[in-house]
Amino acid sequence: MATAKHYRLALLMCDTPFPSIKAEYGDYRQIFETLLTSSLAPINASQTSGFLTFPCAGQGPVTFTLDGYDVVTEMAYPPDETEYDGLLLSGSAASAYENVEWINKLVAYVKRISEEKPQMKIFGICFGHQIIARALGGSCVPNNGLWEVAVINVQLSALGKAIFGTDDLDIQQMHRDHVPTAPPNSHLLGSTTITPNQGMVIFNPSSIPASQTLQSPSPNVDLQSIHILTLQGHPEFTPPIMEKLLDARIHILGEEITNDARKRAGGIPGKQRPDGRACGGVGTVGKAIWGVLGVA
Type of residue at 201: V
Q: Which CATH class is domain 3-293?
A: alpha beta
Question: Tens of pLDDT along the chain (296 residues)?
Answer: 456 799 999 999 999 999 999 999 999 999 999 999 999 999 998 866 544 444 444 467 999 999 999 999 999 999 999 999 999 999 999 999 999 999 999 999 999 999 999 999 999 999 999 999 999 999 999 999 999 999 999 999 999 999 999 999 999 999 999 999 999 999 999 999 999 999 999 999 989 999 999 999 999 999 999 999 999 999 999 999 999 999 999 999 999 999 999 999 999 988 766 443 556 666 899 999 999 999 97
Kindly list the domain boundaries of the chain, sorted by start residue: 3-293
The DSSP bridge pattern shows strands 121-125 and 86-89 to be parallel
Helix (H) or strand (E) holding 166: none
Q: What is the pLDDT of residues 145-190, one digit of tens each?
A: 999 999 999 999 999 999 999 999 999 999 999 999 999 999 999 9
DSSP 269-294: TT---TTS-SSSIIIIIIHHHHHHHT
Q: For CA atoms 86, 87, 91, 95, give the dihedral sign.
A: negative
Contact 123, 289 (CB under 8 A): yes
Which pLDDT score is estimated for 281?
66
CA distances from 179 to 194, 232, 242 (A): 11, 9, 23
Nearest alpha-carbon partner for 67 in 122, 125, 123, 10: 10
Q: How far apart are CA 88 and CA 11, in angstroms?
A: 5
Given this model, what pLDDT does residue 60 score? 73
Residues contacting residue 22 through CB under 8 Å, at least 6 positions apart: 16
